[in-house]
Amino acid sequence: MWIYGLLAVQLFIFLWQLTRKLKPPVNSLAAESTPSSSAICDNNGAAPVPIVYKYDVFLSFRGADTRFNITSHLYAALRGRSIMSYIDDVNLQRGVDIVDSLWGAIEQSRMAVIVFSDNYADSGWCLDELVKIAQCRKTLNQVVLPVFCGMPPEDVRDQTGSYGVAFAKHRQSTASPEKVKMWRAALQEVAGIPGSIVWLNSTGAELVKTVVETVLATLDQISPVSQFPGLVGIHTRIDDIESLLHLASDSETRIVGMWGMGGVGKTTLARAIYDQFSSKFEACHFLGDFRQELERRSELDLQHELFSTLLGDDYNHHTAERSTNLALTYAKMRLTRTRVLVVIDDVENPVALHNLLDKQPRTLFGPGSRILVTSRDHQVLQNVCDEVYEAKGLNDYESLQLFASNVFKNAISDEFVELSWRAIKYPSGNPLALIVLAKALFGRSKEYWESILLRLHRGEPNQKVQNVLRISYDGLDRDEKNAFLDVACFYKGESRRHVKSMLDGAYGDGSSENIVTSLTDRALIGIAHDGLTVMMHDLLQEMGRGIVKHESDDPGQRSRLWDQNDVYSVLTRKGVIEFEC
């Protein structure tokens, strides 16, 4: 027996030594994101990954030269291949500082495509963009693809021809010598990048095709997964699902399901699969939070969104010009010839899923199409999917890696090693719970850790994850608790500005900033990567609403009402004294 004890000690020391090499922050495969946007909302409030990409491509161009010909066609072609592209007249946010918006878009793009035309260098704005792109190439390893539109690269690199004329004007303008020097250096650097595309004699259609194919090949090489090294355990899980998708087969539409408990990482994994393989399909769509979307929108509305994304402007044009039925008939005819990737996240109602896919999921799309469906309910997936993958929690080492990266600034100190091993047992491999627990223990003393772990030990064994989440809630002050419940009941997915306005009104002007910061620091809420939307994980929302429901069996005696049936019952019942909106 002593041999087994010795082996256990050696294994413990080995894993402990590995943890000392961990460098925070590390995000989890697991926490499920809500929005159907391109960016992964990793753990709704946990420490962010180093780079969060919102766009695949940033398009830099001189509007007067190419906006209404080459660039507009290129943008449409990229969008048609489900390549998220930034173009200023479409994506520029109103009410946001233009420079901040543009610079942020450049930083959040995997690659930049620069369309050099005769008058590109005339614009100081274009040249400033170019300098920013060159900086991101150095600091963020951004891939840059120069496209020389009707002009030789030498004119750009050496500032001759029309570029020489432009810089002669810049020397006489208000631009500082330092800025002009930066412009010249950026032009020289970017014009010398290998693999550029030179368009002199070919047609515009051929140029667009070449650029799109080059972008697709480049995005395949810079796999999104490689840009998120902190997603614990994601690589093996992607490989598992890839084997079920049978991507090499073009003969049929294949449907794969993914099921698992809330918080285990289904949405994040589904998003990683989508980002990893979308470029291999003619059209793609990620429909996030299907269950909650059905509470706000009709099945037909969601189907229109699906068809519109897959077919683009062509579908929208036919919808505007024809009746809805004719537009749908046209869309279905087109879709049967289109190889698509569709991800439908968090399905609860199999009938709604069937209706979304027009009751014929295997024949609606072209041969070689793939549909990935996630759900907490195995029965929902069993009858519709070819294969069902079980998304499991993290193993002990993965759990320790994720936990340690969120609770310690550096490696685990000796005095917290044993406590950390004890702590990771309670979340049972659930990454959301691991992150929430880590945030609750961050910067705390050993005595505090001991008290929390003792409380978890005394909790209901079959409620381990909920016990962990409740620990963080119980550590809030009164206003923070109320604000958390407000978000859980009313404000999930609402704009940050609106939520802060409502919280200021409820808990005092200026209080919302501290409240939102506190809830975010504890990973109880998150802010979407656009910085504009308040998010909350489904498990946390369920916990918050459960707290309100436990206030009383009578809805009229509860502090908050969100269910329309409860609201109707309370409003129509005699004896209601006070109702506050």
Q: How much of the chain, in percent, has pLDDT values that exceed 70? A: 82
Query: Which has the closest alpha carbon to 218: 279, 260, 160?
Result: 279
Q: Minimal CA–CA distance to 303: which of 279, 271, 321, 325?
A: 325
Mean pLDDT, residues 524-529 taken together:
82
From residue 397, alpha-carbon distances to 232, 292, 377, 421, 428 in Å are 10, 34, 27, 9, 12
Q: Does the model's pTM come out above 0.85?
A: no
- Residue 373: pLDDT above 90? yes
Identify whether residues 69 and 216 lie together within a single domain: yes
Greater confidence (81 vs 373) lies with: 373
Catalytic residue, from 129, 293, 398, 480: name it. 129
What gap in Å lies between CA 47 and CA 177, rounded to an integer?
41
Are 421 and 16 a contacting pair, CB within 8 Å? no
46, part of any domain: no
Lowest mean pLDDT among 237-251, 274-288, 359-373, 397-411: 397-411
In this prediction, residue 33 carries a pLDDT of 36
pLDDT reported for residue 82: 72
Q: Which helix H or strand E contains 374, and what residues bound it?
A: strand 370-375
**pLDDT tens column, 374-391:** 998 898 898 889 999 998
Helices 446-457 and 431-441: crossing angle in degrees, nearest 10, is 140
Q: Which helix (DSSP H) or strand (DSSP E) does residue 113 occupy?
A: strand 109-116
Asked whether residue 90 falls in the same domain as residue 195, the answer is: yes
Q: Which residue has the higher pLDDT, 381 or 22?
A: 381
- The percent of residues in the chain predicted with pLDDT above 90, rounded, is 31
Answer yes or no: do 168 and 209 share one domain.
yes
* Residue-level pLDDT at 276: 83
Which of 220, 255, 278 is a domain's end point?
220
| CB distance 480 to 507 below 8 Å | no
Q: Which of 250-259, 364-373, 401-410, 505-514 has the lowest mean pLDDT?
A: 401-410
**How many domains does the chain contain in total?**
5
Are 493 and 460 found together in one domain? no
Average pLDDT of span 456-475: 84
pLDDT digits (tens, 9 = 90+) for 160-216: 999 999 999 998 888 888 999 999 999 999 999 988 888 876 667 888 989 999 998
Element (H, E) at 85: strand 85-86
The whole-number pLDDT of residue 296 equals 84
In a domain, 42, yes or no: no
Name the pLDDT band for 546 (thresholds 50, 70, 90). Answer: very high
In a domain, 47, yes or no: no
Residues 440, 304: one domain? no
Q: Is residue 129 annotated as a catalytic residue, yes or no?
A: yes
Q: What is the mean pLDDT of the segment spanning 21-33?
A: 40
Q: Are residues 131 and 215 in the same domain?
A: yes
Specify if 43 maps to a domain: no
Instruction: Classify residue 513 by burial, with Cβ atoms within 10 Å: 0-12, 13-18, 19+.
Output: exposed
Q: Flag whether pLDDT at 324 surpasses 70.
A: no
User: Is residue 533's pLDDT more than 60?
Assistant: yes
Confidence label for 16 from pLDDT (cuts 50, 70 and 90): very low
Mapping DSSP to helix (H, G, I), strand (E, B) and coil, where does residue 82 land?
A: coil
> pLDDT band for position 50 (50/70/90)?
very low
User: What is residue 21's predicted lDDT score, i.e. its pLDDT?
Assistant: 39
Task: Please tell me the least confidently modeled range out of 318-322, 404-408, 497-501.
Answer: 318-322
Question: Are both 433 and 541 inside the same structural domain?
Answer: no
Which of 424, 446, 474 delimits the end of a domain?
474
For residue range 81-100, list pLDDT tens digits in order.
Answer: 778 888 876 445 444 457 77
* Average pLDDT score over residue span 269-292: 88
pLDDT score for 175: 82
CB atoms under 10 Å from CB of 580, counted, come to 5
Banded pLDDT at 302 (limits 50, 70, 90): very high
| Banded model confidence at residue 101, pLDDT cuts 50, 70, 90 | confident
Q: For residue 383, list its beta bridge partners.
A: none
Q: Is the pLDDT of residue 46 over 90?
A: no
Between residues 342 and 76, which one has the greater pLDDT? 342
Q: What tens digit of pLDDT does each residue of 332-341 get? A: 888 899 999 9
Confidence of residue 12 (pLDDT cuts 50, 70, 90): very low
CB 49 within 8 A of CB 42: yes
CA distance 90 to 80: 15
Under the banding of pLDDT at 50, 70 and 90, the label for residue 229 is low
Tokens of 83: 């390549």
**394 Cα distance to chain centroid:** 21
Give 438: exposed, middle or buried? Use CB within 10 Å, 0-12, 13-18, 19+: buried
Is 37 inside any structural domain? no
- The last residue of one of the domains, among 453, 474, 495, is 474
Say whether 37 sits in a helix, a strand or coil. coil
Q: Kindly state whether residues 170 and 199 are assigned to the same domain.
A: yes
Return the pLDDT at 510.
85
Average pLDDT over residues 230-245: 86
What is the chain's mean pLDDT, rounded?
81
Residue 317 confidence class, pLDDT cut points 50, 70, 90: low
- Span 15-40, average pLDDT: 38
Q: What per-residue confidence (pLDDT) applies to 1?
A: 43
Overall average pLDDT of the 361-378 stretch: 92
195 and 271 assigned to the same domain = no
Query: The domain spanning residue 503 has which CATH number?
Result: 1.10.10
The domain in which residue 129 lies consists of 55-220
| 571 shares a domain with 516 | no
Does 240 lie in the same domain as 210? Answer: no
Same domain, 303 and 445: no
Q: 71 CB contacts (<8 Å, ≥6 apart)?
A: 59, 61, 63, 87, 115
**Average pLDDT for residues 539-549, to the nearest whole number?**
91
SS (H, E, C) 496-559: HHHHHHHHHHHHCCCHHHHHHHHHHHCCCCEECCCCCEEECCHHHHHHHHHHHHCCCCCHHHCC
pLDDT for res 346: 92
Which CATH number is 331's domain given? Answer: 3.40.50.300
